Amino acid sequence: MKSAPLFACLAIYLATCLALSAQAAEQPSAKLGAGVFKARCTTCHGSAGKGDGPAARTLPVNPANLTKSRAPNDYLKLLITEGGDAMGRSASMPPWGEVLTPLEIDSLVLHINTLRPPLK
Ligand code: HEC
């Protein structure tokens, strides 16, 4: 079994690669957020987040224009998680905490920050 150490090395190498790629997949990113936004948020907020999605006109309150949002990231995260009603805003903004993972919500916040000028 001269090749045993070689296989052991290969196994350790593969395990490290898998661990590293799993770790990379767990980081929130604006890219991931953009995908979730497209799937879940554009009907109301529009593809560029301007609050002009196809469902916007059917709502009693205009969906926020996210390109103009000056809300801090913590607030965005809370509002997306809890929904408008729980935050004293319109119930037309649904809660997403039971639908999306914290990773997806953090990624949405990163994505929203690519749509608006940086906070000071
Ligand atoms: C059914 C329509 C609808 C959908 C779908 C929707 N929203 Fe909203 N959203 C609203 C409305 C309406 C408001 C404005 C609430 C108010 O002003 O009281 C709002 C407000 C917000 C705000 C507040 C911005 C600020 O500066 O205060 C954020 C952030 C937000 N939405 C993010 C999202 C994200 C992210 C998604 C997708 C996961 C999403 N929304 C999906 C309707 C929607």
pLDDT along the chain (120 residues), means of 10: 75 75 80 98 98 97 98 98 98 98 98 95
CA-CA distance, 19 to 10, in Å (whole number)? 14
Residue from 108, 73, 115 nearest 94 by CA: 108
pLDDT of residue 24: 61
Residue pair 105/79 in contact (Cβ under 8 Å)? The answer is no
Cβ contact 74:58 at 8 Å: no
Domain ranges of the chain: 28-115
- Tell me, what's the pLDDT at 25? 62
Best residue for ligand 1 mutational test, from 44, 100, 114, 116 (most atoms within 8 Å of Cβ): 44
Alpha helices in the chain (DSSP H): 4-25, 30-40, 42-45, 73-86, 102-115
Q: Whose CA is nearest to atom 37 of ligand 1?
A: 41
Contacts with 72 (C-beta within 8 Å, 6 or more apart), sequence order: 119
Question: What pLDDT score was predicted for residue 19?
Answer: 76
Q: What is the per-residue pLDDT for 11? A: 81
pLDDT of the residue at 93: 98
Q: How far is the CA of 103 from the centre of ligand 1 (A)?
A: 18
Please name the residue whose Cα sits nearest to atom 41 of ligand 1. Answer: 41
Q: Which CATH superfamily is domain 28-115 in?
A: Cytochrome c-like domain (1.10.760.10)
Pocket of ligand 1 (CB under 6 A): 40-41, 43-45, 55, 59, 61, 63-64, 66, 69, 71, 76, 79-80, 84, 89-90, 92-94, 96, 108
pTM of the model: 0.86
Give the C-alpha separation, 90 to 66, whole Å. Answer: 15
From the CA of 77, how far away is ligand 1's center (Å)? 11
